[in-house]
Structure 1
Amino acid sequence: MGREFEDVVSPYSERNVITSVQDLMRADGVAVTLSAIARRSGTSRNFLYRWWRSPEALRQLAVTAEVMTVFDTAEHACPSRGTISGTVAHLVHVARGIRSHPTTAAIARTSPASMAGALTAMDGPLPDAVCHRLRQILHSLRLADAVREREAVDALAWKILWIARPAALCPQALGDKDRERTLDLGLGLLLSDLLTAAARAAVEPQPVEPQPVEPQPVEPQPGEV
Protein backbone atom coordinates (compact mmCIF):
# COMPACT_ATOMS: atom_id res chain seq x y z
CA MET A 1 0.00 0.00 0.00
CA GLY A 2 2.97 2.31 -0.01
CA ARG A 3 2.73 3.27 3.68
CA GLU A 4 5.49 4.84 5.70
CA PHE A 5 7.33 2.71 8.25
CA GLU A 6 6.95 -0.33 5.99
CA ASP A 7 9.48 -2.33 7.98
CA VAL A 8 9.22 -5.91 9.15
CA VAL A 9 10.06 -4.97 12.76
CA SER A 10 7.77 -1.95 12.84
CA PRO A 11 4.31 -2.29 14.40
CA TYR A 12 3.08 -0.20 11.47
CA SER A 13 4.14 -2.74 8.86
CA GLU A 14 1.36 -4.52 7.01
CA ARG A 15 2.88 -7.85 7.94
CA ASN A 16 2.66 -7.09 11.65
CA VAL A 17 -0.94 -5.85 11.39
CA ILE A 18 -2.15 -8.85 9.37
CA THR A 19 -0.31 -11.28 11.63
CA SER A 20 -1.99 -9.67 14.63
CA VAL A 21 -5.41 -10.09 13.02
CA GLN A 22 -4.62 -13.72 12.26
CA ASP A 23 -3.67 -14.39 15.87
CA LEU A 24 -6.87 -12.80 17.12
CA MET A 25 -9.11 -14.58 14.61
CA ARG A 26 -7.75 -18.00 15.53
CA ALA A 27 -9.32 -17.50 18.93
CA ASP A 28 -12.19 -15.09 18.35
CA GLY A 29 -13.21 -15.59 14.71
CA VAL A 30 -14.99 -12.59 13.27
CA ALA A 31 -15.55 -11.07 16.71
CA VAL A 32 -12.36 -9.04 16.29
CA THR A 33 -12.69 -5.29 16.67
CA LEU A 34 -10.50 -2.47 15.42
CA SER A 35 -9.59 -1.66 19.03
CA ALA A 36 -8.46 -5.23 19.65
CA ILE A 37 -6.35 -5.17 16.48
CA ALA A 38 -4.78 -1.86 17.49
CA ARG A 39 -3.86 -3.21 20.94
CA ARG A 40 -2.46 -6.47 19.55
CA SER A 41 -0.45 -4.83 16.76
CA GLY A 42 0.79 -1.90 18.85
CA THR A 43 -0.75 0.67 16.52
CA SER A 44 -3.85 2.84 16.83
CA ARG A 45 -7.45 2.83 15.64
CA ASN A 46 -6.78 5.97 13.59
CA PHE A 47 -3.87 4.35 11.78
CA LEU A 48 -5.86 1.20 11.01
CA TYR A 49 -8.89 3.15 9.86
CA ARG A 50 -6.75 5.37 7.67
CA TRP A 51 -5.39 2.41 5.69
CA TRP A 52 -8.09 -0.27 5.93
CA ARG A 53 -11.28 1.57 6.90
CA SER A 54 -12.87 -1.37 8.73
CA PRO A 55 -12.06 -4.51 10.72
CA GLU A 56 -13.91 -6.49 8.04
CA ALA A 57 -11.34 -5.49 5.42
CA LEU A 58 -8.54 -6.59 7.74
CA ARG A 59 -10.30 -9.87 8.55
CA GLN A 60 -10.68 -10.65 4.84
CA LEU A 61 -7.00 -10.00 4.20
CA ALA A 62 -5.99 -12.09 7.21
CA VAL A 63 -8.15 -15.07 6.22
CA THR A 64 -6.89 -14.85 2.64
CA ALA A 65 -3.30 -14.96 3.88
CA GLU A 66 -4.12 -17.98 6.05
CA VAL A 67 -5.65 -19.87 3.12
CA MET A 68 -2.68 -19.09 0.87
CA THR A 69 -0.40 -20.49 3.57
CA VAL A 70 -2.49 -23.68 3.55
CA PHE A 71 -1.95 -23.92 -0.22
CA ASP A 72 1.81 -23.43 0.25
CA THR A 73 1.96 -26.08 2.98
CA ALA A 74 -0.01 -28.52 0.82
CA GLU A 75 2.35 -27.96 -2.11
CA HIS A 76 5.24 -29.17 0.05
CA ALA A 77 3.37 -31.98 1.80
CA CYS A 78 1.34 -33.19 -1.20
CA PRO A 79 2.52 -31.58 -4.46
CA SER A 80 0.23 -31.67 -7.47
CA ARG A 81 3.10 -32.81 -9.76
CA GLY A 82 1.23 -31.70 -12.89
CA THR A 83 -0.96 -34.82 -12.99
CA ILE A 84 -4.69 -35.27 -12.47
CA SER A 85 -4.26 -37.73 -9.61
CA GLY A 86 -1.64 -35.51 -7.98
CA THR A 87 -3.82 -32.42 -8.39
CA VAL A 88 -6.82 -34.19 -6.86
CA ALA A 89 -4.76 -35.33 -3.87
CA HIS A 90 -3.28 -31.84 -3.51
CA LEU A 91 -6.67 -30.11 -3.53
CA VAL A 92 -8.15 -32.62 -1.07
CA HIS A 93 -5.17 -31.90 1.17
CA VAL A 94 -5.87 -28.16 0.88
CA ALA A 95 -9.54 -28.64 1.76
CA ARG A 96 -8.57 -30.76 4.76
CA GLY A 97 -6.10 -28.10 5.90
CA ILE A 98 -8.72 -25.35 5.73
CA ARG A 99 -11.29 -27.51 7.48
CA SER A 100 -8.92 -28.20 10.38
CA HIS A 101 -7.58 -24.65 10.64
CA PRO A 102 -8.39 -22.98 13.98
CA THR A 103 -9.65 -19.86 12.21
CA THR A 104 -12.27 -21.89 10.33
CA ALA A 105 -13.62 -23.33 13.57
CA ALA A 106 -13.54 -19.91 15.27
CA ILE A 107 -15.53 -18.28 12.45
CA ALA A 108 -18.09 -21.09 12.46
CA ARG A 109 -18.46 -20.71 16.22
CA THR A 110 -18.68 -16.92 16.38
CA SER A 111 -20.64 -16.23 13.20
CA PRO A 112 -22.53 -19.05 11.46
CA ALA A 113 -23.88 -16.43 9.05
CA SER A 114 -20.35 -15.54 7.94
CA MET A 115 -19.56 -19.20 7.37
CA ALA A 116 -22.74 -19.63 5.34
CA GLY A 117 -21.84 -16.56 3.30
CA ALA A 118 -18.37 -17.95 2.60
CA LEU A 119 -19.96 -20.99 0.96
CA THR A 120 -21.51 -18.84 -1.75
CA ALA A 121 -19.26 -15.76 -1.96
CA MET A 122 -18.74 -14.70 -5.57
CA ASP A 123 -16.18 -11.96 -5.10
CA GLY A 124 -13.75 -10.53 -2.58
CA PRO A 125 -10.08 -11.03 -1.72
CA LEU A 126 -10.47 -14.70 -0.74
CA PRO A 127 -12.40 -16.09 -3.77
CA ASP A 128 -10.18 -14.03 -6.08
CA ALA A 129 -6.96 -15.33 -4.49
CA VAL A 130 -8.15 -18.94 -4.43
CA CYS A 131 -9.24 -18.85 -8.08
CA HIS A 132 -5.89 -17.33 -9.05
CA ARG A 133 -4.10 -20.18 -7.25
CA LEU A 134 -6.36 -22.75 -8.87
CA ARG A 135 -5.63 -21.33 -12.31
CA GLN A 136 -1.92 -21.75 -11.66
CA ILE A 137 -2.50 -25.39 -10.72
CA LEU A 138 -4.64 -25.97 -13.81
CA HIS A 139 -2.00 -24.49 -16.09
CA SER A 140 0.51 -26.96 -14.66
CA LEU A 141 -1.82 -29.68 -15.99
CA ARG A 142 -1.49 -28.10 -19.45
CA LEU A 143 -5.25 -28.10 -19.88
CA ALA A 144 -5.08 -24.73 -21.57
CA ASP A 145 -1.98 -23.76 -23.51
CA ALA A 146 -3.77 -21.42 -25.89
CA VAL A 147 -5.05 -17.93 -25.22
CA ARG A 148 -8.45 -18.88 -26.58
CA GLU A 149 -8.88 -21.35 -23.69
CA ARG A 150 -8.33 -18.91 -20.83
CA GLU A 151 -12.06 -18.51 -20.29
CA ALA A 152 -12.38 -22.28 -19.98
CA VAL A 153 -9.66 -22.32 -17.29
CA ASP A 154 -11.42 -19.52 -15.38
CA ALA A 155 -14.68 -21.47 -15.50
CA LEU A 156 -12.94 -24.65 -14.35
CA ALA A 157 -11.32 -22.83 -11.42
CA TRP A 158 -14.73 -21.59 -10.32
CA LYS A 159 -16.20 -25.09 -10.59
CA ILE A 160 -13.43 -26.44 -8.37
CA LEU A 161 -14.05 -23.67 -5.83
CA TRP A 162 -17.76 -24.48 -5.67
CA ILE A 163 -17.09 -28.21 -5.37
CA ALA A 164 -14.43 -27.83 -2.67
CA ARG A 165 -16.02 -25.26 -0.37
CA PRO A 166 -18.53 -27.58 1.35
CA ALA A 167 -15.72 -30.00 2.24
CA ALA A 168 -13.30 -27.27 3.30
CA LEU A 169 -15.75 -25.20 5.35
CA CYS A 170 -17.03 -27.99 7.55
CA PRO A 171 -15.16 -27.81 10.87
CA GLN A 172 -18.06 -29.67 12.49
CA ALA A 173 -16.66 -32.86 10.94
CA LEU A 174 -13.39 -32.62 12.88
CA GLY A 175 -12.91 -35.59 15.16
CA ASP A 176 -15.47 -37.69 13.27
CA LYS A 177 -13.20 -39.91 11.16
CA ASP A 178 -16.03 -41.41 9.12
CA ARG A 179 -17.46 -38.00 8.26
CA GLU A 180 -14.06 -36.58 7.36
CA ARG A 181 -13.28 -39.63 5.23
CA THR A 182 -16.60 -39.20 3.43
CA LEU A 183 -15.88 -35.52 2.75
CA ASP A 184 -12.40 -36.27 1.41
CA LEU A 185 -13.56 -39.20 -0.70
CA GLY A 186 -16.53 -37.33 -2.15
CA LEU A 187 -14.42 -34.29 -2.99
CA GLY A 188 -11.75 -36.47 -4.57
CA LEU A 189 -14.24 -38.28 -6.80
CA LEU A 190 -15.89 -35.05 -7.95
CA LEU A 191 -12.55 -33.41 -8.72
CA SER A 192 -11.30 -36.47 -10.56
CA ASP A 193 -14.40 -36.58 -12.76
CA LEU A 194 -14.21 -32.85 -13.45
CA LEU A 195 -10.50 -32.79 -14.32
CA THR A 196 -10.65 -35.97 -16.37
CA ALA A 197 -13.48 -34.54 -18.46
CA ALA A 198 -11.58 -31.27 -18.90
CA ALA A 199 -8.42 -33.09 -19.98
CA ARG A 200 -10.37 -35.17 -22.48
CA ALA A 201 -12.01 -32.08 -23.93
CA ALA A 202 -8.63 -30.38 -24.26
CA VAL A 203 -7.22 -33.09 -26.54
CA GLU A 204 -10.31 -33.91 -28.59
CA PRO A 205 -10.43 -32.19 -31.98
CA GLN A 206 -12.88 -29.34 -32.06
CA PRO A 207 -15.56 -29.39 -34.75
CA VAL A 208 -14.89 -27.00 -37.59
CA GLU A 209 -17.80 -24.74 -38.32
CA PRO A 210 -18.66 -24.60 -42.02
CA GLN A 211 -17.90 -21.29 -43.61
CA PRO A 212 -20.71 -19.60 -45.56
CA VAL A 213 -20.25 -19.80 -49.29
CA GLU A 214 -20.96 -16.61 -51.13
CA PRO A 215 -22.86 -17.08 -54.40
CA GLN A 216 -20.75 -16.29 -57.45
CA PRO A 217 -22.23 -14.08 -60.18
CA VAL A 218 -23.02 -16.00 -63.33
CA GLU A 219 -21.72 -14.35 -66.48
CA PRO A 220 -24.10 -14.49 -69.45
CA GLN A 221 -23.03 -16.89 -72.17
CA PRO A 222 -22.79 -15.80 -75.81
CA GLY A 223 -26.17 -15.96 -77.50
CA GLU A 224 -28.12 -15.59 -74.22
CA VAL A 225 -30.61 -12.72 -74.07
Structure 2
Amino acid sequence: MSYPIIICEDNPIQLKKITTLVENYLLFHANFFNLSLAVQTPEEVLKYLKTSNSNNGVYILDIDLKSNIDGIDLASEIRSRDINGNIIFTTTHEEMAPTTLKRKVAAVGFIEKDQTVENYRDELYGTLEYIKKLIESSKEYPKQNFIFEIGNQIFNFDQSEVFSVESSPIPHQLVFSSKHGQYEFYGKLNALESKYSFLFRLNRSCLINPMNIQQVNFHSRDVLLKNGVTKKFSIGKATKLKHALLNL
Protein backbone atom coordinates (compact mmCIF):
# COMPACT_ATOMS: atom_id res chain seq x y z
CA MET A 1 0.00 0.00 0.00
CA SER A 2 1.26 3.50 -0.85
CA TYR A 3 0.12 6.76 0.71
CA PRO A 4 -1.04 9.73 -1.41
CA ILE A 5 0.77 13.06 -1.60
CA ILE A 6 -1.46 16.03 -2.45
CA ILE A 7 0.00 19.44 -3.33
CA CYS A 8 -1.97 22.69 -3.40
CA GLU A 9 -0.09 25.84 -4.46
CA ASP A 10 -1.71 28.73 -6.36
CA ASN A 11 1.56 29.98 -7.90
CA PRO A 12 2.28 27.81 -11.01
CA ILE A 13 6.06 28.31 -10.73
CA GLN A 14 6.08 27.27 -7.07
CA LEU A 15 3.74 24.37 -7.86
CA LYS A 16 6.12 23.13 -10.54
CA LYS A 17 9.09 23.41 -8.15
CA ILE A 18 7.39 21.45 -5.36
CA THR A 19 6.03 18.84 -7.77
CA THR A 20 9.49 18.26 -9.27
CA LEU A 21 11.04 17.88 -5.81
CA VAL A 22 8.37 15.37 -4.79
CA GLU A 23 8.77 13.42 -8.06
CA ASN A 24 12.52 13.20 -7.46
CA TYR A 25 11.91 11.99 -3.90
CA LEU A 26 9.52 9.35 -5.22
CA LEU A 27 12.21 7.87 -7.44
CA PHE A 28 13.44 6.20 -4.25
CA HIS A 29 10.15 5.95 -2.29
CA ALA A 30 7.54 5.04 -4.90
CA ASN A 31 6.63 1.89 -2.97
CA PHE A 32 5.58 3.98 0.05
CA PHE A 33 4.18 7.27 -1.35
CA ASN A 34 2.53 8.29 -4.60
CA LEU A 35 1.86 11.73 -6.06
CA SER A 36 -1.93 11.74 -6.37
CA LEU A 37 -2.70 15.40 -6.98
CA ALA A 38 -0.86 18.66 -7.73
CA VAL A 39 -3.26 21.60 -8.19
CA GLN A 40 -3.59 25.37 -7.79
CA THR A 41 -7.00 25.66 -6.14
CA PRO A 42 -8.37 24.36 -2.80
CA GLU A 43 -11.63 23.43 -4.54
CA GLU A 44 -9.80 20.75 -6.51
CA VAL A 45 -8.43 19.29 -3.29
CA LEU A 46 -11.92 19.26 -1.73
CA LYS A 47 -13.26 17.50 -4.81
CA TYR A 48 -10.49 14.92 -4.50
CA LEU A 49 -11.26 14.35 -0.80
CA LYS A 50 -14.92 13.60 -1.53
CA THR A 51 -14.05 10.67 -3.78
CA SER A 52 -10.71 9.34 -2.56
CA ASN A 53 -11.33 8.06 1.01
CA SER A 54 -7.74 9.01 1.85
CA ASN A 55 -6.11 7.81 5.05
CA ASN A 56 -2.66 8.95 6.21
CA GLY A 57 -2.36 11.20 3.17
CA VAL A 58 0.38 13.84 2.92
CA TYR A 59 -0.92 17.34 2.14
CA ILE A 60 1.58 20.03 1.08
CA LEU A 61 -0.36 23.30 1.28
CA ASP A 62 0.39 26.95 0.63
CA ILE A 63 -1.26 29.07 3.33
CA ASP A 64 -2.13 32.02 1.05
CA LEU A 65 -4.02 30.36 -1.81
CA LYS A 66 -5.49 33.60 -3.26
CA SER A 67 -8.93 32.14 -2.70
CA ASN A 68 -11.84 32.51 -0.30
CA ILE A 69 -10.46 29.27 1.22
CA ASP A 70 -6.95 29.69 2.59
CA GLY A 71 -4.52 26.90 3.43
CA ILE A 72 -5.57 26.75 7.09
CA ASP A 73 -9.26 26.48 6.15
CA LEU A 74 -8.34 23.73 3.71
CA ALA A 75 -6.29 21.95 6.38
CA SER A 76 -9.29 22.00 8.75
CA GLU A 77 -11.44 20.38 6.07
CA ILE A 78 -8.73 17.80 5.37
CA ARG A 79 -8.51 16.99 9.08
CA SER A 80 -12.26 16.30 9.21
CA ARG A 81 -12.06 13.87 6.27
CA ASP A 82 -8.62 12.31 6.78
CA ILE A 83 -8.13 12.35 10.55
CA ASN A 84 -4.66 10.76 10.23
CA GLY A 85 -3.60 13.11 7.43
CA ASN A 86 -0.13 14.67 7.56
CA ILE A 87 -0.19 18.38 6.77
CA ILE A 88 2.86 20.36 5.62
CA PHE A 89 2.48 24.12 5.23
CA THR A 90 4.75 25.93 2.79
CA THR A 91 4.55 29.72 2.87
CA THR A 92 6.23 33.11 3.01
CA HIS A 93 3.95 34.02 5.93
CA GLU A 94 5.98 32.73 8.88
CA GLU A 95 3.81 34.74 11.29
CA MET A 96 0.86 32.44 10.51
CA ALA A 97 2.41 29.49 12.36
CA PRO A 98 0.66 30.25 15.71
CA THR A 99 -2.69 30.42 13.91
CA THR A 100 -2.29 26.82 12.76
CA LEU A 101 -1.96 25.81 16.42
CA LYS A 102 -5.07 27.75 17.44
CA ARG A 103 -7.06 26.13 14.65
CA LYS A 104 -5.86 22.68 15.83
CA VAL A 105 -4.93 21.43 12.37
CA ALA A 106 -1.80 19.71 13.78
CA ALA A 107 0.68 20.45 11.00
CA VAL A 108 3.71 18.16 10.80
CA GLY A 109 5.88 20.75 9.06
CA PHE A 110 6.07 24.48 8.32
CA ILE A 111 8.50 25.19 5.45
CA GLU A 112 9.45 28.72 4.39
CA LYS A 113 9.54 29.47 0.66
CA ASP A 114 12.13 32.24 1.00
CA GLN A 115 15.19 30.00 1.08
CA THR A 116 17.46 28.28 -1.41
CA VAL A 117 16.10 25.36 -3.41
CA GLU A 118 18.63 23.10 -1.69
CA ASN A 119 17.49 24.09 1.82
CA TYR A 120 13.84 23.86 0.81
CA ARG A 121 14.46 20.38 -0.63
CA ASP A 122 16.27 19.22 2.50
CA GLU A 123 13.43 20.43 4.77
CA LEU A 124 10.78 18.86 2.56
CA TYR A 125 12.56 15.52 2.29
CA GLY A 126 13.30 15.49 6.01
CA THR A 127 9.63 16.08 6.79
CA LEU A 128 8.54 13.32 4.38
CA GLU A 129 10.99 10.92 6.06
CA TYR A 130 9.55 11.86 9.46
CA ILE A 131 6.01 11.19 8.20
CA LYS A 132 7.15 7.84 6.81
CA LYS A 133 8.46 6.85 10.26
CA LEU A 134 5.21 7.97 11.92
CA ILE A 135 3.14 5.82 9.57
CA GLU A 136 5.44 2.83 10.00
CA SER A 137 5.29 3.19 13.80
CA SER A 138 1.49 3.30 13.76
CA LYS A 139 1.45 0.01 11.84
CA GLU A 140 4.06 -1.55 14.10
CA TYR A 141 2.12 -0.71 17.26
CA PRO A 142 -1.54 -1.16 16.33
CA LYS A 143 -4.16 0.28 18.62
CA GLN A 144 -6.11 -2.17 20.80
CA ASN A 145 -9.42 -1.75 22.58
CA PHE A 146 -9.73 -3.17 26.09
CA ILE A 147 -12.77 -5.45 26.36
CA PHE A 148 -14.22 -7.37 29.33
CA GLU A 149 -17.51 -8.84 30.52
CA ILE A 150 -19.53 -8.28 33.69
CA GLY A 151 -22.51 -10.63 33.80
CA ASN A 152 -24.44 -10.19 30.56
CA GLN A 153 -22.74 -6.90 29.69
CA ILE A 154 -19.70 -6.37 27.47
CA PHE A 155 -17.57 -3.25 28.06
CA ASN A 156 -15.36 -1.83 25.32
CA PHE A 157 -12.78 0.86 26.15
CA ASP A 158 -10.42 2.72 23.87
CA GLN A 159 -6.75 2.09 24.68
CA SER A 160 -6.28 5.75 25.68
CA GLU A 161 -8.99 5.40 28.37
CA VAL A 162 -7.20 2.60 30.25
CA PHE A 163 -5.25 3.52 33.41
CA SER A 164 -4.61 0.25 35.24
CA VAL A 165 -5.78 -3.28 35.98
CA GLU A 166 -4.91 -4.84 39.34
CA SER A 167 -5.81 -7.74 41.59
CA SER A 168 -8.88 -7.31 43.79
CA PRO A 169 -9.08 -8.40 47.46
CA ILE A 170 -11.85 -10.70 46.20
CA PRO A 171 -10.29 -13.92 44.82
CA HIS A 172 -10.14 -14.22 41.00
CA GLN A 173 -11.43 -10.68 40.50
CA LEU A 174 -9.66 -7.71 38.94
CA VAL A 175 -10.15 -3.96 39.38
CA PHE A 176 -10.09 -1.98 36.14
CA SER A 177 -9.50 1.80 36.37
CA SER A 178 -10.39 4.05 33.45
CA LYS A 179 -11.16 7.68 32.66
CA HIS A 180 -14.78 6.82 33.40
CA GLY A 181 -14.34 5.13 36.78
CA GLN A 182 -13.62 1.68 38.20
CA TYR A 183 -15.07 -1.71 37.28
CA GLU A 184 -14.57 -5.17 38.78
CA PHE A 185 -14.67 -8.33 36.70
CA TYR A 186 -13.38 -11.90 36.78
CA GLY A 187 -10.06 -12.49 35.06
CA LYS A 188 -6.34 -13.18 35.33
CA LEU A 189 -3.56 -10.61 35.05
CA ASN A 190 -1.28 -13.00 33.18
CA ALA A 191 -3.91 -13.57 30.50
CA LEU A 192 -4.49 -9.82 30.09
CA GLU A 193 -0.76 -9.12 29.93
CA SER A 194 -0.44 -11.62 27.07
CA LYS A 195 -3.52 -10.34 25.24
CA TYR A 196 -2.93 -6.58 25.46
CA SER A 197 0.54 -5.58 24.32
CA PHE A 198 0.11 -1.96 25.45
CA LEU A 199 -0.17 -2.95 29.14
CA PHE A 200 2.97 -2.90 31.29
CA ARG A 201 3.49 -5.18 34.30
CA LEU A 202 4.38 -2.73 37.06
CA ASN A 203 4.43 -5.29 39.86
CA ARG A 204 3.00 -8.74 40.66
CA SER A 205 -0.53 -7.45 41.14
CA CYS A 206 -0.78 -4.48 38.76
CA LEU A 207 -0.74 -3.73 35.03
CA ILE A 208 -0.68 -0.10 33.84
CA ASN A 209 -1.01 1.77 30.56
CA PRO A 210 2.25 3.78 30.11
CA MET A 211 0.33 6.19 27.86
CA ASN A 212 -1.44 7.47 30.98
CA ILE A 213 1.61 7.97 33.18
CA GLN A 214 1.90 11.56 34.39
CA GLN A 215 5.14 11.28 36.37
CA VAL A 216 7.72 8.69 37.41
CA ASN A 217 9.97 9.03 40.45
CA PHE A 218 12.76 6.49 39.99
CA HIS A 219 14.25 7.33 43.38
CA SER A 220 11.12 6.46 45.38
CA ARG A 221 9.94 4.04 42.64
CA ASP A 222 6.53 5.68 42.34
CA VAL A 223 4.40 6.04 39.22
CA LEU A 224 1.76 8.78 39.23
CA LEU A 225 -1.04 8.06 36.78
CA LYS A 226 -3.18 10.75 35.14
CA ASN A 227 -6.11 9.86 37.40
CA GLY A 228 -4.05 10.97 40.41
CA VAL A 229 -3.38 7.44 41.70
CA THR A 230 0.18 6.44 42.66
CA LYS A 231 1.53 2.91 42.10
CA LYS A 232 4.77 1.34 43.32
CA PHE A 233 7.25 -0.59 41.18
CA SER A 234 10.28 -2.70 42.11
CA ILE A 235 13.86 -1.69 41.32
CA GLY A 236 13.99 -4.53 38.80
CA LYS A 237 11.25 -2.85 36.73
CA ALA A 238 13.02 0.52 36.43
CA THR A 239 14.91 -0.17 33.19
CA LYS A 240 11.92 -1.83 31.51
CA LEU A 241 9.71 1.08 32.53
CA LYS A 242 12.14 3.58 30.99
CA HIS A 243 12.11 1.59 27.73
CA ALA A 244 8.30 1.44 27.75
CA LEU A 245 8.13 5.24 28.09
CA LEU A 246 10.74 5.81 25.37
CA ASN A 247 8.84 3.51 23.00
CA LEU A 248 5.80 5.80 23.27
TM-score of the superposed pair, with normalisation by structure 2: 0.26
Q: Which has the larger radius of gyration?
A: 1
TM-score of the superposed pair, with normalisation by structure 1: 0.28
Structure with bigger helix share is 1
